[in-house]
A and B are shown apart, each in its own frame.
Chain A
């Protein structure tokens, strides 16, 4: 079974530029999550999708972050404009049902200079 795919793995941009991350979850997984993990911190939920509907985006900085899930499968997370404090690893995860057992991708490491 293929795992959660994310790209790019690494991205370096300057502040005020934009960046987009892509995620392809495990086939059949209805729930998709984007987490932000800052160095030394635990993963923090940014947005949660159930199929292609948003379930929770309460911690998403909506003035600069946006996310969508296309046809209930792939998802993109965009940051525009980026700030220095957005430097983090962005983790995508999916789960098939309500077990709490999330399957994570390898993450996309963003460095904002």
Chain B
């Protein structure tokens, strides 16, 4: 039962253009969504998040959009830079039994070409 889905295993864009990474979820109990970035041989690092009560959160070149009715969120990177090349994981949080649970998608590998 995959509750968080990233249907695109990979994405390739040109430097300076926009990168759009997509994520779908199935559980309406998720209240918080996060994007993590992972470079090879390193652990994931937190990038940006959004609460379920918002539809947009922006941090510099990174913007996350949430469409609750469609159970869909997306990460926009503008402009894309070669250093953005990494695997991006979408994660969703729900509370259960007094603790928070994070469920991760399979990731999308972004390649930004110079």
**Which A residues form the contact surface with B (CB < 8 A)?**
4, 31, 40-45, 48, 50, 55-56, 91, 93, 98-107
Which of A42, A100, A101 lies in contact with B89, CB distance below 8 A? A42
Asked if A4 contacts B99 (CB within 8 A), the reply is no
Interface 1/0 per residue, B40-60 and A, CB below 8 Å: 011111100100000000000
Main secondary structure of the interface of A (DSSP, over half): loop
A99, B96: Cα distance in complex, Å: 14
Residue pairs across A and B with CB atoms within 8 Å: the count is 57
A56, B99: Cα distance in complex, Å: 8
Asked if B44 contacts A104 (CB within 8 A), the reply is yes
Interface 1/0 per residue, B1-23 and A, CB below 8 Å: 00010100100000000000000
Q: 10 more A-B contacts (CB under 8 A) besides A42-B104, A102-B44, A104-B45?
A: A42-B89, A44-B104, A55-B99, A99-B49, A100-B93, A101-B49, A102-B102, A103-B46, A105-B43, A106-B43
Interface positions of B from 77 to 114, Cβ below 8 Å from A: 89, 91, 93, 96-102, 104-107
Closest 6 CB pairs of A and B: A104-B43, A42-B104, A100-B93, A55-B99, A42-B106, A101-B46
The chain A residue sitting closest to B107, CB to CB, is A42
